[in-house]
């Protein structure tokens, strides 16, 4: 069964407590939490205070996706706020290996996100150090964008690399995931699917999560 991670970015922030409870009671596996700084991406979302508040109510792991420059400055703060998986962008990490070690030293799983133009082959020498690769299937910054088709090719290449390295890295797809394309992404090798708009704009988010999970 795939890991389903609803993206809080598309939730109704006025009803955050109910949205958290909906995810708690659904078939979802993780909370996907998008942190944007207005520098790495042209949008600003939320930071540690919101995450720590959510942590008091949520009963599933926090998959925190940092779309920020200099992520190394905030690794400890996000650990304290309640991140279980902390993902930094390859493009924002000149010292990626060091960042991965630092994330793990703070007790979290270490993720690396790749922008659509960044080839998965660039990760080959650190693959065994990565718990999760987040392949961006839209340009990061906003929910509700259209899936970039080239992504499926990247999933297959990365899956092959993981098998060749005997690594235990999980593949997550983030952006434009729908009920229609989810089965294809899973067939190509994805382990985890992020879904914002598809879940929160649907008339019945709980049922949509269940459909993503079962592929039916
Ligand atoms: C985009 C974010 C995504 C976003 C996905 O920068 O990283 O997590 O919330 O939203 P949808 O599923 O609506 O494309
Ligand atoms: Zn994300």
| Predicted local distance difference test score (pLDDT) of residue 216 | 83
Q: Which domain holds residue 34?
A: 3-214
**Tokens read off for 91:** 């493009």
| Predicted local distance difference test score (pLDDT) of residue 181 | 98
**Tokens read off for 103:** 């994330």
Pocket test for ligand 1, best of 4, 7, 139, 185 (most atoms within 8 A of CB): 7
Q: Please name the residues in contact with 86: beta carbons below 8 A apart, sequence gap of 6 or more.
A: 64, 66, 75, 78, 79, 103, 106, 108, 109, 110, 111
Residue 65 Cα to ligand 2 middle (Å):
5
**Tokens read off for 214:** 């079962």
SS3 for the chain, per residue?
CCEEEEEHHHCCHHHHHHHHHHHHCCCCCCEEEEEEECCCCCCECCCHHHHHHHHCCCCCCEEEEEECCCHHHHHHHHHHHCCCEEEEEHHHCCCHHHHHHHHHHCCCEEEEEECCCCCHHHHCCCHHHCCEEEEECCCCCCCCCCCCCCHHHHHHHHHHHHHHHCCCCEEEEECCCCCCCHHHHHHHCCCEEEECHHHHCCCCHHHHHHHHHHCC
Number of structural domains found in the chain: 1
Q: Please list the pLDDT of the chain residue by residue as tens digits (216 residues).
A: 999 999 999 999 999 999 999 999 999 999 999 999 999 999 999 999 999 999 999 999 999 999 999 999 999 999 999 999 999 999 999 999 999 999 999 999 999 999 999 999 999 999 999 999 999 999 999 999 999 999 999 999 999 999 999 999 999 999 999 999 999 999 999 999 999 999 999 999 999 999 999 988
* Beta carbons of 146 and 176 less than 8 angstroms apart: yes
CATH of the domain at 185: 3.20.20.70
Active-site amino acid positions: 34, 174
**What is d(CA 2, CA 73) in angstroms, rounded to the nearest whole number?**
32
pTM of the shown model: 0.98
Residue 22 Cα to ligand 1 middle (Å):
19
* Beta carbons of 48 and 78 less than 8 angstroms apart: yes
Residue 203 Cα to ligand 2 middle (Å):
22
**Atom of ligand 1 at shortest range from CA of 195:** 12
């Amino acid at each position: 069964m795939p890991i389903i991670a609803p993206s809080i970015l598309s939730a109704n922030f006025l009803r955050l407590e109910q949205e958290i409870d909906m995810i708690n009671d659904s078939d979802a596996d993780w909370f996907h939490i998008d942190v944007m700084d207005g520098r790495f991406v042209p949008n600003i979302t939320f930071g540690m205070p919101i995450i720590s508040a959510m942590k008091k109510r949520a009963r599933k792991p926090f998959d925190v996706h940092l779309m920020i420059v200099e992520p190394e400055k905030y690794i400890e703060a996000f650990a304290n706020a309640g991140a279980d998986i902390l993902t930094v962008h390859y493009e924002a990490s000149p010292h990626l290996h060091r960042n991965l070690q630092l994330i793990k030293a703070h007790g979290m799983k270490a993720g690396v996100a790749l922008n659509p133009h960044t080839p998965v082959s660039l990760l080959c020498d650190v693959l065994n150090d990565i718990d999760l690769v987040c392949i961006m299937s839209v340009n990061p910054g906003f929910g509700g964008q259209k899936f970039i088709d080239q992504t499926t090719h990247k999933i297959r290449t990365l899956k092959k690399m993981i098998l060749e390295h005997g690594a235990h890295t999980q593949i997550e797809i983030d952006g434009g995931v729908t009920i229609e394309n989810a089965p294809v992404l899973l067939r190509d090798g994805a382990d985890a699917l992020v879904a914002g708009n598809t879940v929160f704009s649907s008339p019945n988010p709980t049922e949509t999560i269940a459909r993503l999970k079962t592929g039916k």
